[in-house]
């Protein structure tokens, strides 16, 4: 399914599938206020669908689509809050599902902002919307369960981990509440996912240094180690999808595996950098789209045969809207800022030489 005006979907590979992933959904107070205004027009409380509608064509056109829900949810009618302790309206889950997402990563530095009740409310709302999730859990059994997604003829496992939880301790005796980055655990989980039947293992990592365009040493080192791990000659991990940094970061092929160091914020309010200045980069992101083809023999690796990205922004000119910046969108009269954003995102994504490995900007 394709929305009019959206960039065309990647050509279908016979027997293959397309995977789309996007960055942080981070509802600041201004984003919550916009959802309330949109809800007054639609008759739906806290309606996030209009803000995300611009991404629907790309997202719903994929065989499997992955988002990152950085914050936790409150009760149906609130109270809600933005920075620094985020508690978002649970209606976000319905909007993500109706935009076309199949699953969200939920491990972030804000996962414990509202304690275990916040985790429970978030996952309950996602379950009610039919949106899969990974990275936080309500029980040990749920934490051990492999999040397997159907993608055309393939099964994709999505795993999710975060570097920390803003100094809020993980509940004692409940390590499953949120997945923390640990190389050994990630690889053990990836191998368990493969044994559970995953053709492709995608790992969502909330990592890196905020506002830093270049990947930091943790990202570079962990990416090298994770992509080098193999079992029976087959890589344990097939794709790494990064979030957290607030700015678009590079894509890079590491040990033959695509790594997206940071997609940037897909939906966020006014963003201020460490100098206290409003910084447009905090509303810029990339949409990652990878086309996988089946192996020649059963048990071998599914290969990425097409790697693409699409520039995207949260347009803060009222009303807030997510825009995929194809050439037409970036060429709007009087909106030189959109053309500038498209070029900034392009430079960031390609800054580690991914073009030589076939990564292209679409739209």
pLDDT on residue 5 = 42
pLDDT on residue 1 = 30
CA distance 270 to 283: 8
- Give residue limits of the domains in the chain: 19-361
CA distance 39 to 89: 12
The CATH-assigned architecture of domain 19-361 is 4-Layer Sandwich (3.60)
Say whether 31 sits in a helix, a strand or coil.
helix
Q: What is the mean pLDDT of each run of 10 residues along the chain (363 residues)?
A: 42 79 98 98 95 98 98 96 97 98 98 98 98 98 98 97 98 98 98 98 98 98 98 97 98 98 98 96 98 93 98 96 96 95 98 98 93
**Cβ neighbourhood burial of 3 (10 Å; 0-12, 13-18, 19+):** middle
pLDDT on residue 15 = 84
Beta strands, E only, the chain:
17-26, 64-69, 72-73, 87-88, 103-105, 132-134, 148-151, 154-162, 200-206, 230-231, 234-235, 239-243, 251-254, 257-260, 265-268, 284-293, 303-315, 321-324, 360-361
pLDDT on residue 6 = 45
pLDDT on residue 299 = 87
């Amino acid at each position: 399914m394709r929305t009019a005006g959206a960039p065309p979907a990647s050509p279908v590979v016979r027997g293959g599938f397309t995977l789309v992933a996007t960055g942080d959904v981070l509802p600041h107070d201004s984003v919550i206020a916009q959802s309330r205004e949109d809800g007054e027009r639609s008759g739906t409380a806290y309606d996030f669908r209009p803000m995300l509608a611009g991404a629907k064509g790309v997202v719903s056109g994929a065989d499997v689509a992955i988002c990152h829900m950085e914050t936790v949810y409150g009760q149906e009618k609130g109270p809600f809050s933005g920075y620094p302790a985020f508690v978002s309206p649970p209606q976000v889950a319905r909007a993500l599902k109706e935009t076309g997402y199949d699953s969200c990563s939920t491990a972030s530095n804000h996962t414990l902002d509202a304690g275990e009740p916040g985790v429970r409310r978030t996952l309950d709302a996602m379950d009610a919307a039919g949106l899969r999730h990974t990275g936080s859990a309500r029980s040990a059994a749920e934490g051990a369960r492999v999040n397997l997604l159907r993608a055309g003829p393939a099964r994709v496992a999505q795993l999710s981990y975060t570097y920390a939880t803003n100094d809020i301790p993980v509940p004692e005796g409940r390590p499953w509440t949120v997945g923390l980055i640990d190389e050994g655990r990630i690889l053990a989980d990836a191998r368990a996912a493969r044994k559970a039947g995953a053709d492709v293992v995608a790992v969502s990592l909330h990592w890196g240094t905020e506002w830093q365009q270049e990947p930091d040493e943790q990202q570079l080192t962990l990416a090298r180690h994770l992509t080098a791990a193999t079992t029976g000659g087959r890589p344990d991990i097939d794709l790494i999808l990064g979030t957290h940094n607030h700015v678009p970061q590079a894509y890079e092929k590491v040990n033959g595996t695509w790594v997206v160091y940071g997609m940037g914020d897909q939906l966020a309010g006014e963003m201020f950098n460490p100098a206290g200045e409003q910084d447009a980069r905090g509303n810029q992101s990339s949409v990652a789209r990878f086309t996988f083809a089946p192996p020649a023999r059963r048990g071998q690796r599914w290969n990425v045969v097409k790697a693409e990205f699409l520039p995207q922004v949260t347009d803060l000119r009222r009303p807030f809207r997510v825009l995929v910046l194809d050439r037409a969108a970036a060429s709007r009269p009087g909106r030189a800022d959109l053309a500038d954003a498209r070029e900034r995102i392009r430079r960031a994504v390609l800054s580690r030489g991914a073009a030589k490995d076939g990564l292209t900007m679409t739209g």
